């Protein structure tokens, strides 16, 4: 939580004394990373000229809710994204009269960092309104000197040279420290859920009721008339975080360039500690810029390389994909090393149409990958009484009975082609790129069909059950919200649905399967549960400790 004090252990520790890192601007940090000594005690000779590295987060939110980004303001007490860095009295013990301190900033894009001397409006280093300050000199007051450091971008690295100069300007002692801002990290399904959102419209009351019934006030139904009845809340935004030692955290709403009804929704949930940001230009979007097409795996190890925050993956075609601005930015973050998948064969083209991940506490990896599988769908359908009537499929897809589906040879040939030419290569790519074995995969019965206006590309015939939401609140059984397949005669009798039962039995222990009616509003509009829901999550692990090898 915010407000805690923490001793920073940097990526490239230079030593033993005193970096202060706190959300409380008036307090100082107690322990040296290497010696464990209290702040204010020297290590070795009096006046040891050694300091820890600086790690911080982007300061782009609006903590005082003034309508301006905090980066565009001078320091103030309520800004909890400034990293405090101190030079205690003890380091000046051997200073003679006229001795000074010089700070020098080294690196590229120096306009993306600032160092303030105390809470004044004086910028010591970095970007001012009119210029970039690369050096700063001051004469110590005899008291602890306090600085605040802030960043205006992700994953920026700088060097700060800290020099003790005598009265003639000669260097008595000097040391270099590192200053680095956190990378942006996309959330994945093993991170604990914090809150869930979906859009309320006239046609989805049962869908919304399922969330309220199971999540209570941890779910918010967004008024449809406030967002132009645009229900595709997963496509509009992607949640990400940036963190630093000392419980520094900011949440980023990645706002898609899709310019539809939900375009104003991020403004409804912006708050101190959470801001929105867009990569790319509105008006240039394709379907691949919607964020059902932007996912991250749980933590994985691939060919001996650990990815403690998983890997990003998204779909593309030969000519279209995630816009270059966002794709390049995500690649530059490096910690989640993105993977591209060919989704040319899908009408909508999103990776959530054939894949997801669910927690599995009994697995060594902690998860199972859910991947669409045609063969198991045919096996299940062929085990059913062919005369079973399917009212939902009769009106929505033109199949009145199970036998009508099973006996459609054109449909069978289409799905076999999809499995052989599309899904099998994707499953192989999942194994290679994400370090998975067959034991890590649960194959979910799925059939696809062609629809008008998609040029032979396909969508889910049976509601795509991999297209789900994981609501895994801390200390509770994980709740999986899954599209109800309605592969039965009686809509109200879920117990009679063999596909629903088969899916629930396939799920690892520790997960509760909740099947929701997304048929009318989502499925028939070429989407499912995941497309119409979004979740904020708690960041886990410390990137500066566990992901340094990826930076």
Instruction: Provide the token pair at 521.
Output: 């509003």
- Count CA within 13 A, CB hemisphere, residue 143: 3
Cα–Cα distance measured from residue 98 to residue 515, given in angstroms and rounded to the nearest whole number: 75
Q: Could you tell me the maximum CA-CA distance found in the chain, to the nearest angstrom?
A: 98
State yes or no: is 347 an active-site residue. Answer: no
Distance separating alpha carbons of residues 512 and 479, to the nearest angstrom: 5
Residue 472's contacts (CB-CB under 8 Å, 6 or more residues apart) are 189, 190, 192, 193, 359, 478, 479
- Name the helix (H) or strand (E) containing 408: none
325, 327, 330, 308: which is closest to 316 by C-alpha? Answer: 327
Cα–Cα distance between 304 and 368 in angstroms, integer?
20
Which residue among the candidates 21, 347, 454, 531 is catalytic per the annotation?
531
Long-range contacts of 255-260 (CB under 8 A, 24+ apart): 256/285, 256/289, 256/290, 256/291, 257/281, 257/282, 257/283, 257/284, 257/285, 257/289, 257/323, 258/285, 258/289, 258/290, 259/283, 259/285, 260/228, 260/230, 260/232, 260/236
Residue 450 backbone dihedrals phi, psi, to 5 degrees: -80, 150
Q: Is the dihedral of CA 284, 285, 289, 291 positive or negative?
A: positive
Give me the sign of the Cα torsion angle 424, 426, 430, 433. positive
**Burial code of 432-461, b = ≥16 C-beta within 10 A, e = fewer?**
ebbbbeeebbbbbbbbbbeeeeeeebbbbb
Strand order in the sheet with 478-483: 469-471, 478-483, 511-516
* Positions marked catalytic: 531
């Amino acid at each position: 939580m915010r407000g805690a004090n923490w001793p920073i252990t940097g990526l490239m520790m230079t030593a033993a004394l005193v970096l202060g890192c706190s959300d409380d601007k008036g307090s100082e940090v107690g322990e040296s990373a290497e010696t464990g000594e209290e702040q204010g005690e020297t290590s070795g000779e009096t006046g040891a000229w050694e300091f820890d590295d600086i790690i911080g987060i982007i300061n782009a939110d609006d903590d005082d809710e003034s309508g301006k980004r905090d980066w565009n303001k001078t320091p103030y007490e309520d800004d909890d994204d400034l990293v405090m860095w101190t030079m205690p009295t003890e380091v000046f013990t051997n200073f003679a009269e006229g001795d000074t301190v010089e700070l020098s900033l080294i690196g590229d894009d120096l306009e993306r960092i600032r160092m303030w001397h105390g809470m004044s409006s004086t910028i010591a280093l970095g970007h001012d309104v009119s210029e970039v300050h690369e050096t700063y000199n001051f004469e110590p007051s005899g008291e602890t000197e306090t600085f605040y450091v802030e960043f205006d971008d992700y994953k920026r690295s700088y060097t700060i040279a800290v020099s003790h100069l005598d009265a003639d300007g000669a260097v008595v002692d000097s040391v270099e420290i590192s200053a680095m801002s956190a990378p942006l990290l996309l959330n994945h399904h093993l991170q604990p859920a914090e809150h869930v959102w979906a859009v309320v419209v006239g046609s989805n009351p049962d869908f919304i009721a399922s969330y309220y019934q199971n999540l209570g006030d941890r779910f918010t139904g967004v008024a449809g008339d406030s967002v132009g009845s645009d229900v595709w809340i997963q496509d509009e935004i992607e949640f990400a975080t940036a963190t630093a030692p000392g419980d520094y955290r900011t949440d980023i709403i990645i706002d898609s360039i899709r310019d539809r009804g939900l375009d104003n929704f991020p403004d409804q949930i912006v708050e101190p500690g959470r801001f929105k940001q867009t990569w790319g230009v509105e008006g240039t979007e394709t379907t691949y810029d919607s964020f059902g097409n932007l996912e991250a795996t749980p933590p994985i190890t691939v060919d001996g390389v650990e990815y403690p925050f998983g890997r990003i993956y998204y779909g593309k075609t030969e000519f279209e994909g995630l816009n270059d601005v966002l794709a390049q930015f995500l690649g530059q973050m490096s910690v989640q090393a993105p993977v591209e998948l060919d989704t040319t064969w899908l009408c909508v083209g999103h990776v959530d149409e054939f894949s997801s991940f669910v927690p599995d506490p009994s697995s060594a990896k902690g998860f199972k990958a859910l991947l669409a599988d045609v063969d198991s769908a045919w096996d299940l359908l062929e085990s059913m009484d062919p005369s079973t009537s399917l009212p939902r499929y009769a009106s929505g897809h033109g199949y009145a009975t199970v036998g009508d589906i099973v006996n459609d040879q054109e449909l069978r040939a289409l799905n076999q082609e999809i499995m052989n030419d599309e899904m099998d290569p994707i499953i192989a790519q999942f194994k290679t790129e994400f370090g998975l074995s067959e034991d890590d995969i649960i194959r979910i019965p799925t059939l696809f069909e062609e629809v008008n206006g998609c040029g032979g590309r396909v969508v889910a015939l049976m509601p795509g059950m991999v297209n789900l939401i994981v609501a895994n609140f801390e200390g509770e059984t994980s709740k999986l919200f899954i599209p109800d397949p309605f592969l039965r005669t009686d809509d109200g009798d879920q117990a009679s649905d063999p596909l629903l039962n088969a899916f629930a039995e396939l799920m690892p222990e520790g997960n509760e399967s909740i099947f929701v009616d997304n048929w009318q509003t989502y499925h028939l509009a070429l989407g499912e549960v995941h497309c119409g829901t979004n979740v904020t999550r708690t960041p886990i692990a410390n990137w500066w400790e566990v992901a340094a090898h990826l930076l």
